[in-house]
Amino acid sequence: MDRTDISLIALRRILRATELYGRRLAKEAGMTAVQFRVLQIIAENGHATPTAIANRMGVTQATMTALINKLVERQLVERRRSETDRRQTNVCITPRGTEAVDDAPDPLQQRYVKNFEALEDWEQAMIVASLERVAAMLDADGLDASPVLDLGEFGKAQ
């Protein structure tokens, strides 16, 4: 087997692992990986502003609004006016949302982060450079993406 085939197999395995995790999360927690990441961010402090979440995830306000709307519909979060600045809205996790975070399967990206951060600095740099090159080879280096392992599109209401 040549290196081209080996590289394509490795890419396919990565895509497949992401797909399988997404299916498991949808089945067990009833949400996408992106929705789950939003919920995790809110759960860190119990609340967050939509702007802060969008900035952290690297997505647009419109995308964040759609994601939050889905979580509100499922009663995992609720919107509340800020006590200190009435112009600002906070997104607050509900008890049901906390339960969803606690009961969800181990997030794929957290496993990746744990293993990646355990690598030597030079290994991390090599992997980042290689992944950026692969993204460029696929003409994907300019696509809007956040640090969430998910196959879904961010432009759609997830």
Distances (CA, A) of 86 to 47, 61, 69, 125: 15, 19, 20, 44
Return the CATH number of 3-137, one of 1.10.10.10, 3.40.50.970, 1.20.120.80, 3.30.300.30.
1.10.10.10
Residue 34 confidence (pLDDT): 87
Which residues of the chain have a pLDDT value below 50?
Answer: 153-158
The stretches of the chain forming alpha helices (DSSP H) are: 3-29, 33-45, 50-57, 61-73, 95-103, 108-117, 121-137
Q: What is residue 148's predicted lDDT score, i.e. its pLDDT?
A: 57
Asked if 25 contacts 36 with a C-beta cutoff of 8 angstroms, the reply is yes
pLDDT the model gives residue 150 = 59
What tokens appear for 68 in the block? 């939050």
Please give the single-letter amino acid code of residue 78: E
Domain boundaries, the chain: 3-137
- Token pair 């996408």 in the structure block, residue: 32
The predicted structure's pLDDT at residue 146: 57
What's the confidence (pLDDT) of residue 154? 41
